Structure 1
Amino acid sequence: MEKFFSIVRGLGLKRGPQRWLGGVCGGIAAKLNVDVAYVRIAFLLFALLPGPAFVFYLAAWLLLPDQRTAIIAESLLARRAGRP
């Protein structure tokens, strides 16, 4: 599992400091070097499709590292396994 999280970190995509919810749109905007408003509008348009937008956002929130390179899913799995 640690190799998977290393690969995710290696993508160079982090949840952004400009946060409304989880910072996913801000991180994508920073990686693409575009204004975060464009990414948020694109996500809202994508959200008009039933289901996939919510699942995508939730997965991105769980898997993308934050500014300190901490990944929520990795922390949850470590806590469940009894590691700090």
Structure 2
Amino acid sequence: PMYQPQPNRGNRFFAWIRSSRITRGRNRWIAGVCDGVARRLGWNATLVRALVILTSLLFGAGAAFYALAWFLLPDEMDGRILCEELVNGHWDWNCAGALVCAAVAL
């Protein structure tokens, strides 16, 4: 069954994110962001991973994008969004991973 979020003021924002149909996929190296983006765009996941690594090394933007996507995109397996969980007062250790990615981007 799909995860059912608790009602809050940000439901419209998270509903809008879910309506984009981009999820963090199951083919994961870290959090599944590249797999989800690749499937949505119809690209190869390896190409998306290479682009994220390249932009991370050259500009840091790839790591920032990855951290933001990890934090905001729903998980394909259970539909949970880390940011929504945090807003609702539920800490998940995956949030620490997203924060580490954001720190790398800085």
Q: Give the TM-score normalised by structure 2.
A: 0.70
Out of 49, 53, 59, the position equivalent to 2:58 is: 49
Does residue 28 of structure 1 match 2:37? yes
- Whether 1:74 aligns to 2:84 is yes
Q: Deviations over 1:23-55 (max 9, x none)?
A: 000100111122211111111111123332222
Unaligned runs of 5+ in 2: 1-9, 91-106
Extract unaligned runs of 5+ from structure 1.
none
Find runs of 4+ consecutive structure 1 residues off by over 6 angstroms.
none
| Percent of matched pairs sharing the same residue | 38
Superposition CA RMSD, Å: 1.2
Q: Which moved more, 1:10-19 or 1:41-50?
A: 41-50
SS at match of 2:50: helix
How much does 1:2 deviate?
1.1
The whole-number CA distance in structure 2 between the counterparts of 1:38 and 1:54 is: 16
Report how many aligned residue pairs link the two structures: 80
Tell me if structure 1 keeps the 8 A contact 2:24–2:73. Answer: yes
Instruction: Give the Cα separation in 2 of the matches to 1:2 and 1:31.
Output: 23
- The TM-score with structure 1 as length reference comes to 0.87
